[in-house]
Amino acid sequence: MVLGLTHQVPSEELVSDMAASRPPADHTLEQFLMTRESLRKQVGFLASKFGQHQSIFIIGDDDHVSPLLAIICPRLMVTIIEIDGRVCDNLCRWRRRLGLTNLDVINLDIRQVNTCCFSGFDSFYANPPYSSKNDGHGLRAWAFVCLQACRDECRGVVAMPWMDHPEQWVRRNWVAMRAFLTSYGCSIVRHRAPLCEYGAIRHAGMRSWNWAVHRHTPLQGTPEPPAVGCALYR
């Protein structure tokens, strides 16, 4: 089925309907919903990066990127894990409504991923907790699990915190994340556009920018398993 498509960007109407249907943000899970305009641009950006790939692994999708990506990239198998059952239920409703056979929604905590069998994905997308109070742990934990789920040579996009005048913790997290990804054999390209905006943000001026990650040398850096309890987020 082809519904609401305009080349590689989903139609404004489809994005609006989907954005309006999202469950209210649960801030205890670091949910802050991307605005519908940012959502549309972000899906276009991801489609331009991964549209020709076979599979993508996504952790967390309160924004509802995954059904939009699945519909405009019909050859891409999209697998998403998400802790929030409300988000999973809504994503499944959209999967049925759009007749998507290339979207797999799994209600799972990132902390349980090691006990399951995720491997061999050729790309990933992570929009991690920005981790202002735990020295960037959430950023690295999301990237760590994504890299475990992907094959040695893979590509990914990580939505990183961005501010016009970055606070110290933002700069520190950039540096720590760069070091972490480098230790796993990744090179990093920073893309400013699109800068994504969110509703009800915690830090004034906070947006996200994409880091395009290319893992070409399969090094094993220091593992960063996701912390238990709130320590994962703050």
Ligand X SMILES: C[S@@+](CC[C@H](N)C(=O)[O-])C[C@H]1O[C@@H](n2cnc3c(N)ncnc32)[C@H](O)[C@@H]1O
Per CB under 6 A, the segment of 55-63, 66-74, 148-156, 167-175 that binds ligand X is 55-63
Q: Using the rule CB under 6 A, which residue among 83, 154, 157, 158 binds ligand X?
A: 83
Instruction: Say whether residue 29 binds ligand X (CB under 6 A).
Output: yes
CA nearest 190: which of 178, 200, 179?
178
Rounded least distance, CB 7 to ligand X, Å:
27
Contact 88, 64 (CB under 8 A): no
Instruction: Say whether residue 194 binds ligand X (CB under 6 A).
Output: no
Rounded least distance, CB 112 to ligand X, Å:
8
Task: Output phi, psi for 126, to 5 deg.
Answer: -130, 130
Instruction: Say whether residue 110 binds ligand X (CB under 6 A).
Output: yes
CA 186 – CA 156 distance, rounded (Å): 10
Shortest-Cβ-distance residue relative to ligand X: 60
Q: Using the rule CB under 6 A, which residue among 109, 135, 152, 153 binds ligand X?
A: 109
Task: Output phi, psi for 45, to 5 deg.
Answer: -65, -45
Side chain identity at residue 208, one-letter code: S
Most distant pair of Cα atoms in the chain: their distance: 47
Which residues are at the interface with ligand X (CB under 6 A)?
29-32, 59-62, 81-84, 87, 109-111, 127-130, 159, 198
